[in-house]
Amino acid sequence: MEDGNLIPRRRALSRILSSSAGAAFALGASGCTRKLPPKLDRSYHFLCADAPEITTPGKLIGPDGRSRCGWMRHPLLDLNLEDARFYVVPPLQQSRLKKWEMYYLITPTHYLSFLPAWIGYAAFAEIAVYDRQARTWQNRFHLRGPIPKFPMMRNSNSGITEFAAGKDRLRIEVSGDRRNLTIDFPGFPGGFRAEIKLHHPAGLESICGVHLDNPRRVFYGEKVTSMPAHGSYRIGGEEFPLDPERSWGLLDFGRGYYPLKKFWYWATASGRAEDGAVVGWNLGYGNSSEETTENALFHNGRLHKLGRVKVELDFQDFYRPWRVWSDDGRVDLSFTPENVRFNQLDLGLLYSVGRTALGLFNGSMVLDSGARIAVRDLFGLFEVVDQRW
């Protein structure tokens, strides 16, 4: 059974976040009362270290309530999360369900992110824009209650997600080989509007991970990189057209019953290697350094599965170079931060603290064929986050 004390804590969190002061506090603070990285003890649940490739379609949760664990090159499984049975009182499961879609856009001038999310006791959306020349952030965070629910696609490869609160609107429609994002956030500083089309052909591979908190409690993640971006976005009175040869879309899609405590390192990027090939990657690990499920390199749309990686950074100075590498030599990347965003929400028993860094990757990675590809000053994201949520 679930810890009964969590329910009043959720109510308190919802009240705090529903206030403007609470929402501002939730977006971050320069100080941090919790140490990073945390000690990854048994309270950070982790199962399924040996994650095989899943190659046949089916359902995420089987008839017996148990789920497979593994990874896929395409989203083959139907996300039948309604069939989960891990609490004695099934309706309590809704309080642990989390759903989100985080889209990232890397352009020569900006880094942008668009997030609609529903987490059982709150619903919210955030638009964030980083100016690469000025190295400054602007964002708009809009929080509302979880009821009524807003439409969210069941699976990542088709459907509609549409967040609306006040005058702010964010709509995502996936159909065929297109992911269409329509955004109108007048509450963003100066206003923000966008019509963005991300090209996702059927052959473009992604990394899909099926993770278990216990055999009956599953969460699912999919990462897509290197999607050419068409369309435009407007910040205030300035319009920015998208050049699909130099503008790339990324997706972090999450659904499921996540563990109460979650920690991760995550490095991702999209762009061109020194030889002109389109590359992207998803690297890091979660509640255990044995986590390998979602480590992958993408080269001209094809996935090259990677194993365990290691991360090194200076927790006393986040602007010093970070590093991600593997003992087998397939990954060797350094990362030079140019901006580090301090994220902190600390309510005692519930918290989310971390550092999201944007900057430049340099180094090399090895394809399945043994060929080594080099990247130089490739823009991307590297973050470390600790949550009890």
Using the predicted structure, report yes or no on whether residue 267 has a pLDDT greater than 80: yes
In this prediction, residues 342-371 reach a mean pLDDT of 94
Using the predicted structure, report yes or no on whether residue 12 has a pLDDT greater than 70: no
Residues near 44 by beta carbon (within 8 Å), at least 6 away in sequence = 38, 259, 261, 262, 263, 287, 288
Q: For 215-348, where are the E strands, in sequence order? A: 217-235, 238-241, 248-257, 261-272, 278-285, 296-299, 302-305, 310-312, 322-325, 331-346
- Region class of 25: left (phi > 0), else alpha (psi between -120 and 50), else beta: alpha
Amino acid 355: pLDDT: 97
Amino acid 94: pLDDT: 87
Give the percent of the chain with pLDDT over 90: 80
Mean pLDDT over all residues of the chain?
90
Amino acid 77: pLDDT: 97
How far is Cα of residue 268 from the mean position of the Cα atoms in its chain? 10
Tens of pLDDT, residue by residue over 151-192, are 999 999 999 999 999 999 999 999 999 999 999 999 999 999
Tens of pLDDT, residue by residue over 43-67, are 999 887 668 999 999 999 999 999 9
In this prediction, residues 215-224 reach a mean pLDDT of 95
Structure tokens at 314: 């200076």
Amino acid 23: pLDDT: 36
How would you class 233 by CB atoms within 10 Å of its CB: exposed for 0-12, middle for 13-18, buried for 19 or more? Answer: buried
Using the predicted structure, report yes or no on whether residue 20 has a pLDDT greater than 90: no
3-state secondary structure string across 7-61: HHHHHHHHHHHHCHHHHHHHHCCCCCCCCCCCCCCCCCCCCCCCCCECCCCEECE
Amino acid 349: pLDDT: 85
The HSE-up count of residue 128 (CA atoms within 13 Å, CB side) is: 20
Tens of pLDDT, residue by residue over 279-337, are 999 999 999 988 899 999 999 999 999 999 999 999 999 999 999 999 999 999 999 99
175 and 164 Cβ atoms separated by less than 8 Å: no
Beta partners for residue 322, in sequence order: 335
Amino acid 157: pLDDT: 95
What is the total count of domains within the chain?
1
Residue 339 phi, psi dihedral angles, 5° rounding: -155, 135
Amino acid 48: pLDDT: 78
Task: Give the dihedral of Cα atoms 10, 15, 17, 22; nearest 10 deg.
Answer: -130
Beta partners for residue 303, in sequence order: 298
Q: Is residue 154 part of a domain?
A: yes
166 and 142 Cβ atoms separated by less than 8 Å: yes
122 and 178 Cβ atoms separated by less than 8 Å: no
Q: Is residue 1 part of a domain?
A: no
Domain that holds residue 157: 6-388
Q: In whole angstroms, what is the distance from residue 134 CA to residue 33 CA?
A: 29
DSSP 258-275: --SEEEEEEEEEEEE-TT
The residue among 238, 259, 244, 283 whose CA lies nearest residue 107 is 244
Amino acid 49: pLDDT: 67
In this prediction, residues 101-127 reach a mean pLDDT of 96
Beta partners for residue 251, in sequence order: 103, 224
Residues near 63 by beta carbon (within 8 Å), at least 6 away in sequence = none
How many degrees, rounded to 5, is the angle at CA 229 between CA 225 and CA 234? 125
Task: Give the dihedral of Cα atoms 199, 177, 233, 153; nearest 10 deg.
Answer: -130
The residue among 315, 320, 331, 323 whose CA lies nearest residue 382 is 323
- This prediction's pTM: 0.91
Amino acid 33: pLDDT: 66
